[in-house]
Structure 1
Amino acid sequence: MGVQTAMDEVLHAPTIVEALRAADDVAFEAGRDPSVRTLRVLLTALARSDDIAAIASVHALAEMHDEEALRRLVGLLSDPRAFIREHAAWALGQSLPRLEAVGRLLGLVAEGGFSGMLAQHTIEKWSGAAGEALAIAIESALLGMTDASSRATLVETLGLIRQPIATRLLREVALDPRESDEAREAAIAALGQRRDTAGLDDDLGTVVAAGGRLAAAARLALIDLDPAPAAHRGARGLTVAQLFLHADIDPSLSAVGAGDNGGIATLLVRLGDALTVDEASPVQRALTLSRGPLEHSAEDLLRVAGTSRGHVYGRIPLAARPVASAAAWPYRVTARRGIRRVLRAAGGVDVVHLRMADVGSLAAADVARELGIPTVFTVAPDPHSVIRSLEDAGTLTREGFGETDLREHFWFRARLVQTLAASASHTVFFPRPDLVQEMRELVGIDMNARSERHTVVAEGVDLEVIDQAVAEARVAGIEGAAAAGAAFGDLAALLGDLAEDRRGLPLLVTVGRLHRVKGVATLVGAWAESSLSERANLLVIGGDLDEPSRDEQEQLDLVADVVPPHQRARRGLILAGHRANDVAARWIAAARFGMPGLAAAGGAYVCASIKEEFGLAVLEAMATGLVVVAPDGGGPATYVDHGDTGFLTATWDQDRLTDAVAAALDRAADDDEHRARRSRDVVAEGFTIQAMAATLAPIYASVVAQEAELARAARMPA
């Protein structure tokens, strides 16, 4: 179509998502016609106020593979717009090494953050052709660098240079007590990747003997130096790995709701169990990877290596303190090494299931490709749905896209979704209205092409846990908390702290992470600034209230602006913090039946998320028989019967959310046992964790069979 026509498509696209997709054509046309006129078109777009056209031009310059275009691209590393500098660092990875760019790229690496990760990735790509020059440049950069964090990041980058020239300095840093522990740890981890270097066992043994955190890092490096992966423990069935690195996942789900420990953590625990509980299942072992402390990593590896059947957990050490998913991108290298280590220890992983466009999936995809393990990818229009919702709400514009992209990394994440889907052996999709059309329009995937490689899989919940919660909540609703168990006693204590005139009202309940995407602050505003606060109390389950993350603190501050902490008891707001999954299930059920003298029956569940790809907590609430409020797009729209079992609305709009919650309270006041039974039946008939496992297991088996066939074909003579 020509680069001018392609750029016009970007400039005149009716939505931001469509403009992002049209940017691919600009890059393609620039690569097809690297002419002077193409360069003029791109440079003109770079000067526009339209941020999307400007970013599209950055990536198109990289595709031209033209000397003048690349010179201009290098120059953008000094652009006054931070988002242009970031995209230039990323785009340069598509070119041959440009030594005049190395200094500025290393400056970004030293600054850290997402931009630093992209610059480091480019340096890594260039290292194959220019490793020695890059190693010398990094060593020079370290000479004047005193900041411990920056030195550590540069040392980590040096560790990505495979040429022997980098090894000397890595050994010096690893053994130098004058260096910060952070820099020494980065050097130690890098040495674990250099199996062809003599004497490293002795060097690392010295660090182990000294004890402390560095000793734990050295033990892992020694494990990495072992050239032989663990033997497969005689498993007859498949081993499937699944991961979410931004949560502390354990079988008890004790941390769910804190930080990024959301519904995905619950899903992975329940699914891993369900996949392996049936001896007839083709899946014999499920391996769930999440974050964990460095000091326990070696023990985890032993447990993984020694488990041949069932659900086993492996923990990846990322940072000394938990890091939110949006801030975890700089841990790409650490994540990749940790994932590789656990998969090798498992001794025979057949499939890796990726679910999120995050640093864990980015790193795991690299490891799977390196080890020859096929992947299954659950495709969700994220960040596409968020972009659309923010644009609809008027809070995201084309002119302000660049600054938002610096925080949210929308462009990179959208491209990552496309890359992971394209490289997967099989793709899985959540049910949603107009799924085929939305995947084509938002993500650019044609589900009708190679339909045998695409499957729609509903997520599921554990009805046994929920039914037990409902049974106990019925007792609590009749006889009081003391007759129903400890979980209800804790809830009774929270309700008892409310002002006396609030204790006869029903409960509105929401469960989830304290993150802006989850809309908790919007819900509190809708409730507190309307008559809803006169009709019901609001119980928010989720978040680490003692040591909140940056995202959690942001939401807590917004909530405090509406309801100051000292007014919560008088006004009926309860911030309960995160609770174990089975406790949250009991409290959700209690909203339906009430508790004598503390809460009236007839409460409702509210999901105020900007977007909800599927909505496990909504399903759990429906299974208890509660009326629910949920977003009018994504998964909930496929199972909530609007006006009967719940109400669908534009949750990002506070007025519409208020109206929907009011309607839900009206519906719940009917005390309709038939409606409650219909809600549970919907979940029981199509949304259990057992049904999900029964659908996924044959997919994993088919992927492995397909890989075996490819391997056989590759051995056949031409």
Structure 2
Amino acid sequence: MGVQTTLDAVASAASIVDAMRLADDLAFEAGRDPGVRTVRLLRGAVRGDDELVTIAAIHALAEVFDGEAGRLLVSLLSDERSFVREHTAWALSSGLPRIEAMARLLGLVIGGGFTGMIAQSTLEQWSGAMPEALFVGIESALLCETDPEARARLVETLGLVRESFATDPLLRIAADVDEREPVRVAAVAALGQRPGAPRVEKALRALAEGESFLAEVARLSLVDLAPADPQETSAHREGLSVAQLFLHADIDPQLSAAGAGDNGGIATLLVRLGNALADDPHTGIRRVITLSRGSIHEAGGDLQTIRAHVEGHVYGHIPLLREPMSSAAAWPLRVVTRRGIRRILRAAGGVDVLHLRMADVGALAAADVARELGIPVVFTVAPDPHAVIESMDRSGALARTDFGRVDVTEHFWFRTRLVQRLAANSSHTVFFPRARLTEDMRRLVGIDMLAHAERHTVVPEGVDLATVDAAVAEARTAASGGTVAPAFAQLRALIDELPAERRGLPLVMSVGRLHRVKGMASLVSAWANGPASAHANLLVVGGDLERPSVDEREQLDLIARVVPEEQRAARGLLLPGHRSNDIVARWMAATRVGMPGANAAGGVYVCASIKEEFGIALLEAMASGLFVVAPDGGGPATYIENGVTGILTETWNVAALGTATDAAIRAAQSETDSDRAERGRAMVQARFTIQQMSSALGEVYRTVAREEQALVELAGTLS
């Protein structure tokens, strides 16, 4: 098409997602036609007001192997626009190392955040070609920098220089009692990546004495330093060993933190799925290892457990060496996450398949480890953040003129490219059902599911129907005057705090993380400012109310603007915070069945997410017999019969959400039999149980393992 034509196409694209896709064409054309005019065109685009075009032009410049293009990119590291500096640091990783950019990239590392991670990643790629220059640059920066967190980032970057001359400074910093703890921790963690040096092991053993945090880090570094046992292959074991990862949750077998922070439906799913895979002999899975974040105390014990258990469902925690943070803020933990994942997978003594699901720092780090250890990857592809971008574009919340500034916070560009990269490099891709799956994957993500269709599988998520059915049975017993389980007593106590005139109303219930994508504040606004609040109370389950994260605090503040805290009871708003999955199941059942004197039967469930790729909580609600409200796209549109088992609506539109919520309550309250409830449950039983999901994924894992084994055997015959 040519650079000018493609640049025009990016600038005039009908949507932001389309423009982002066309940016790849622009980069290709720029690389194919380097020269003075190409650089001139891209320079003009970088200076324009269309921030989407600016970003596209920066990445196109990186494909022009020309001295002028390189000098322009380096100069952009000093641009006053933060998104320009960030994307330039990323774009530079595509080309040859440029020593004149090193000081500015180190400056970005010192600044930290996502931009610092990007700059550090670029420097890591360059370190093999110019280790001495990077070493000198870091040493010089350390002489001038006093902030301990910034120094720690520099030391971590120093640890990525693999040459032996970087070892002495790391040893010196690790042993320096006058150095602040974060800096020493970074040095000790980096020493674990330097095998074959007796003095390193000796230093770590000395540091590992005692019970301090630094000593615990040193003990893990000694584990990293030890040579790994030869990796077993599936041919040497009965059954496969599968690892699954979700970094941003505190996952435990009891699901005790469901709904807090980032502990959403995925945390519940991985526990249920891991159990189902390991328990069903027909899956061919002998052991499932579920990886998530955790404390350094948990990490050491997990390694022993994983080594000792060659079957069943076991857990491995990745110590992030700092307080947990949201997925959006966790990108700077790339290096420490990579080390933690590698440590667990090495301790496992052989993993046949690694399943990744999110385009986050955990998947970014895990993909590197899988490549290093030769583990095939299965990746669940979802149009995320593509669908969010599209929704925000349609609603006017995101525009070309401010895309770059929003991207600094949301990292939309990086995450879309990460999805594409993970999908392209995976042995097999898994998809959620969508109404227009093939079309959406091609249009939003750029994946042609018809090409090599044998490497793509559609696998719906599943729910534990036994838990749901038990909860409904208990709710009916309690409603008829029988035994009242503690979960129902807790819900009754919440409702008893409401004024008398609001007791006995049905409930509108919603469960999920307090995050803007989940739309909880929008739901409160839709309910409070619409007709639904007159004849139903709202129960929002989720969030850590005592120690809210940044995202949770944002949603709580937005909720307080609509319904001030002191008015919640009077207006019928219940915010109990997060609850375990078992309690949530019982509260859903009580929302449907009712509790005499507390809430009327015939409540509804509302999912207000801007986008919902599938919707575990929605399925649990339908299995409980609840009438539901859900987004009119993504997964829910494939299993909700609009106007029959629920209402599909534009959840990003507060007015539409309020209208749909009121209509749902009226529909549920007008029912005279259980036909609709039974229809919803039957649908879940027929299509969406955890056992069905386990069976489908078991077949995927077996296929991937067979293909990998064939590759290993072929390589053996050719060697």
TM-score bucket of the superposed structures, by smaller chain: over 0.9
Aligned partner letter, 1:22: L
Aligned to 2:108: 108
Alpha-carbon separation, structure 2, partners of 1:400 and 1:286:
44
CA distance in 1, matches of 2:313, 2:230: 18
SS at match of 2:282: coil
SS of the equivalent of 2:600 reads: coil
- Supply the distance in 2 between the matched residues of 1:6 and 1:706 (Cα, whole angstroms): 40
In the alignment, which residue of structure 2 is the partner of 1:253? 255
Which structure 1 segments of 5+ residues have no match?
Answer: none
Q: Deviations over 1:645-688 (max 9, x none)?
A: 00000000011101111111111113330100000001000000
* Aligned ranges 1:430-449 → 2 under 5 Å: 430-449=432-451
* AA in 2 matched with 1:643: G
CA RMSD after TM alignment: 1.1
Aligned twin of 1:59: 59
- Report the equivalent of 1:342: 344
After superposition, the C-alpha distances for 1:520-545 in whole angstroms (9 at most, x for unaligned) are 00000011112211110000100000
* SS of match in other structure, 2:14: coil
* Structure 2 residue 678 is the aligned partner of structure 1 residue 677: yes
Structure 1, residues 34-60: CA drift from partner, whole Å, max 9, x if none? 111111111111111111110011111
Tell me how far apart the structure 2 counterparts of residues 528 and 117 of structure 1 sit (CA, whole Å).
42
- SS of residue paired to 1:576: strand
2:692 corresponds to which residue?
Answer: 691
The answer to whether the aligner puts 1:241 opposite 2:243 as a matched pair is: yes
- Asked if 2 retains the 8 angstrom alpha-carbon contact of 1:432 and 1:634, the reply is yes
| Partner residue, 2:296 | 294
CA contact (8 A) 1:353 1:376 kept: yes
Bigger mean CA deviation after superposition, 319-328 or 642-651 = 319-328
Distance 1:6 1:28 in 2: 10
Change beyond 3 A, Cα 1:326–1:337: same
Q: 1:331 aligns with which of 330, 333, 338?
A: 333
Q: Counterparts of 2:663 and 2:529 in 1: how far apart (Å)?
A: 16
**2:382 maps to what in 1?**
380
**In structure 2, which of residues 458, 464, 473 is the aligned counterpart of residue 471 of structure 1?**
473
Q: Does 1:282 align with 2:267?
A: no
The residue that corresponds to 1:546 in the other structure is 546
Counterparts of 2:510 and 2:321, CA distance in 1: 30
Name whichever of 548-557 and 58-67 sits farther off.
58-67
How far did residue 232 of structure 1 move?
5.3
Q: Hey, what's the Cα distance between the residues in 2 that align with 1:282 and 1:638?
A: 30
Query: Which whole-Å CA distance do the structure 2 matches of 1:235 and 1:514 have between them?
Result: 43
Contact kept in structure 2, 1:235 and 1:308, CA below 8 Å:
no
Matches within 5 A, 1:224-235: 224-229=224-229, 235=237
Residues 187-226 of structure 1 mapped to structure 2, 5 A cutoff: 187-226=187-226
Question: What corresponds to 2:174 in structure 1?
Answer: 174
Q: Quick one: which amino acid aligns to residue 688 of structure 1?
A: T
Deviation at 1:320, TM superposition (A): 2.4
Amino acid at match of 1:618: L
Equivalent position to 1:394, from 393, 396, 400: 396
Q: What residue number does 1:622 align with?
A: 622
Q: Deviations over 1:441-471 (max 9, x none)?
A: 0000000000000010000000000000111
**Cα drift, residue 15 of structure 1:** 0.4
Q: For 1:506 and 1:121, locate their aligned partners in 2 and report how far apart those are by CA, in whole Å.
A: 53
CA distance in 2, matches of 1:307, 1:708: 23
Q: Is the 8 A contact 1:276 1:309 kept in 2?
A: yes
- Correspondences of 1:480-559 after superposition (within 5 Å): 483-559=483-559
Residue deviations 1:58-107 (CA, integer Å, cap 9, x gap): 11111111111010000000111100000000111112111111111111
Aligned 8 A contact 2:530 2:659 in 1: no
Letter in 2 for 1:563: V
CA distance in 2, matches of 1:280, 1:505: 47
Shift of 1:712: 2.2
Provide the rounded CA distance (Å) in 1 between the counterparts of 2:598 and 2:481.
12
Looking at structure 2, the residues matched to 385 and 247 of structure 1 have their Cα atoms a distance apart, in angstroms, of 23
Counterparts of 2:292 and 2:620, CA distance in 1? 23
Alpha-carbon offset, residue 230 of structure 1: 7.3
2:505 counterpart SS class: coil
The DSSP-based 3-state class of the residue aligned with 2:63 is helix
Provide the C-alpha distance between the structure 1 equivalents of 2:395 and 2:321, rounded to a whole number of angstroms. 36
Contact 1:181 1:214 in 2 (8 A): yes
Inter-partner Cα distance in structure 1 for 2:386 and 2:265: 20
Q: Secondary structure at the match of 1:377?
A: strand
> AA paired with 2:695?
A
Deviation at 1:210, TM superposition (A): 3.8
1:377 and 1:717 mapped to 2: Cα distance? 29
Tell me the SS of whatever aligns to 1:716: helix
CA separation in 1, counterparts of 2:112 and 2:488? Answer: 46
Residue 405 (structure 1) shift: 0.3
In the other structure, the counterpart of 2:370 is 368
Q: Which residue among 405, 411, 433 is the counterpart of 2:413?
A: 411
Aligned-partner SS, 2:414: helix
SS of the residue corresponding to residue 480 of structure 2 reads helix
Q: Which residue of 2 aligns with 1:705?
A: 706
Contact 2:282 2:695 in 1 (8 A): no
CA contact (8 A) 1:230 1:305 kept: no
How much has 1:131 moved relative to structure 2? 0.7
TM-score, with length taken from structure 1: 0.99
Code of the residue aligned with 2:402 in structure 1: it is: G
1:9 and 1:118 map into 2 onto residues whose CA distance is 28
Q: Distance in 1 between matches of 2:174 and 2:190?
A: 9
Do the aligned partners of 1:208 and 1:216 also contact (CA within 8 Å) in 2? yes
CA–CA separation in structure 2 for the residues paired with 1:372 and 1:616? 32
- Looking at structure 2, the residues matched to 365 and 619 of structure 1 have their Cα atoms a distance apart, in angstroms, of 31
Secondary structure of the equivalent of 2:634?
coil
Amino acid of the residue matched to residue 424 of structure 2? A
Whole-Å Cα distance in 2 between the matches of residues 117 and 711 of structure 1?
A: 35
Q: Is the 8 A contact 1:235 1:309 kept in 2?
A: no
For 1:26, the aligned partner's letter is L
Q: Single out whichever of 226-235 and 313-322 deviates more from structure 2.
A: 226-235
Match for 1:427: what amino acid? T
Q: Given that residues 213 and 295 in structure 1 are in contact (C-alpha distance below 8 angstroms), is that contact kept between their aligned partners in structure 2?
A: no
Deviation at 1:198, TM superposition (A): 2.5
Does residue 580 (structure 1) correspond to residue 586 (structure 2)? The answer is no
Deviations 1:593-624 (A, max 9, x none): 11111111110000000000000000000000
Aligned 8 A contact 2:463 2:689 in 1 = yes
Alignment map for 1:599-610 (pairs within 5 Å): 599-610=599-610
User: Kindly tell me: are residues 4 and 412 of structure 1, through their superposed partners in 2, closer, same or farther at Cα, counting changes over 3 Å?
Assistant: same
2:666 alignment partner, SS class: helix
State the AA in 2 paired with 1:244.
F
Q: In structure 2, how many angstroms separate the alpha carbons of the residues matched to 1:111 and 1:475?
A: 59
| Residues 1:5 and 2:5 are matched in the alignment | yes
For the 8 Å contact 1:286–1:310, the answer to whether it is kept is yes
Note the C-alpha offset of 1:182: 0.6
Q: Which residue of 2 aligns with 1:668?
A: 668
C-alpha separation in 1, matches of 2:577 and 2:451:
45
Q: What corresponds to 2:454 in structure 1?
A: 452
Q: 1:646, 1:479 → 2: CA distance? A: 30
8 Å CA contact 1:46–1:55 kept in 2: the answer is: yes
The CA deviation at 1:713 is 2.2
Indicate the percent of aligned positions where both proteins have the same amino acid: 60
Alignment partners' CA distance in 2, 1:66 and 1:716: 43
Cα distance in 1, alignment partners of residues 113 and 637 from structure 2: 37
Residue aligning to 1:273: 275
- Mapped to 1, the partners of 2:592 and 2:666 lie a distance apart of 13
Give secondary structure in 1 for the equivalent of 2:598.
Answer: coil
Cα displacement (A) at 1:717: 4.1
| CA positional deviation for 1:199 | 1.2
What TM-score, normalized to structure 2? Answer: 0.98
Q: Is the 8 A contact 1:377 1:428 kept in 2?
A: yes
